[in-house]
Amino acid sequence: MSGSAVSLRTRIEERKAIVAVIGLGYVGLPLLRAVLSAGYSAIGFDIDRAKLAAIEAGRTYIAHLDASPVHAAVTNGSARVTDDYALLAEADIIVICVPTPLGPHQEPDLSYVEATGSGLARVLRPGQLVVLESTTYPGTTTDLLKPILQSGGLVAGRDFHLAFSPEREDPGNPLQAAEIPRVVGGDGPVAQELALAFYDSVVVSTVGVSSPATAEAVKLTENIFRAVNIALVNELKTVFAAMDIDIWEVIEAAKTKPFGFMPFYPGPGLGGHCIPIDPFYLTWKAREVEVQTRFIELAGEVNTSMPRYVVERLADALSRRQRKALAGARVLLVGVAYKANVDDTRESPAFRLWELLERQEAIVAYHDPHVPVLPATRHYPGLSGKQSTILSAKVLADFDAAIICTAHKTVDHALLASHCPLVVDTRNALGTSGSWPNVVKA
């Protein structure tokens, strides 16, 4: 181990290393909090000045996450927030937590990683450790990011060190970032030792793997596992519905088996930054090595078909129960966040439902206590700025139907079912008892 690596290892052990976190969103902000709690001085970097201003003012911009510890650290001088790459030269450890979305043809969009790498290459100095946390396909860290970082003249493994440790954030989960074990794959033994030492000082435990590519594959495997099993219950839902069997009742009974079964639950489609996206990262990379991922792609097809299935169930119920067409019907989407009890709308299936309903000339509104105003999105810019409808008996009676897309605890679903003529429940928010004759499962 070189002298600079030994020095960094000592600075980690003594909590004297300065840690920079790039990207202060759903992944980076919790990590920054954990780093500060571990006793490090830190730099928070983001190109969004609004986030930096919110932190400096003590405002929280992620509803379920208290940003006050970061604000306190900025106030007392143990943390700084910036959009200036030059300040990152002061850091000993730099952790990249930027988005990795999909492009228009379901291909990986690594533009944020590339732009971050280019910015870092201009200021990178000898002795630093760079860790990528953004979810991506195997090979990204060493094949894409490393050459970009080396374009500034430094060499990985000699002048600086590189590793991958996949983020494991779950918005709304009470587990803190420091309480979740971390997988770590270093680009060489020295990078591995340094990365493990850093994460061991921040989180409850670490799991070292043989390479960054292996660590990248671990994250994809975790989320593809969920995507495939959700696809299975989504398909079972459609089969059992045709047999007049409630999938939710089936799952509740099946999960009493103490072995050989793990419950997964159906829904109107997949949401969040990881599960709808990660399978496509692997299928794209698999084509490069001439391997087919038929099982994963089939799961993707099932999950992406769910919004259309929900709309079909709604149209059928309107026709049979109210003798109404979907065209001209007033439909309320209840819950636009991708999961319950958070304000995170990333990849929410509610947006796809909205699009499909408007294509059939339905009149759409929404209610979500966690999302009072719809944010700007890449794929649905026309919905930006629309406001949540306030629920009341009178308001609900004016709608022809409602779709429960997300089952927030703070929503009065009984009020909804009591006053809306038709409710399509995609989350079992109203239970399996069948006590609501105007409720249809989808």
> Distance between CA 126 and CA 67 in Å, rounded?
32
Residue pointed to by tokens 């100095």:
125
> Distance between CA 347 and CA 273 in Å, rounded?
6
Q: 102 forms bridges with which residues in the sheet?
A: 108
> Distance between CA 156 and CA 147 in Å, rounded?
9
Q: How far is CA 56 from CA 49, 92, 375, 393, in A?
A: 10, 23, 22, 42
**Residues noted as catalytic:** 274
**Side by side, which strands form the sheet with 330-334?**
363-367, 330-334, 401-404, 423-425, 439-441
Q: Which residues contact 287 (CB under 8 A, 6 or more apart)?
A: none
Phi-psi region of 35 (alpha: psi -120 to 50; beta: other; left: phi over 0): alpha
The helix-helix angle for 212-242 and 247-254 (nearest 10°) equals 120
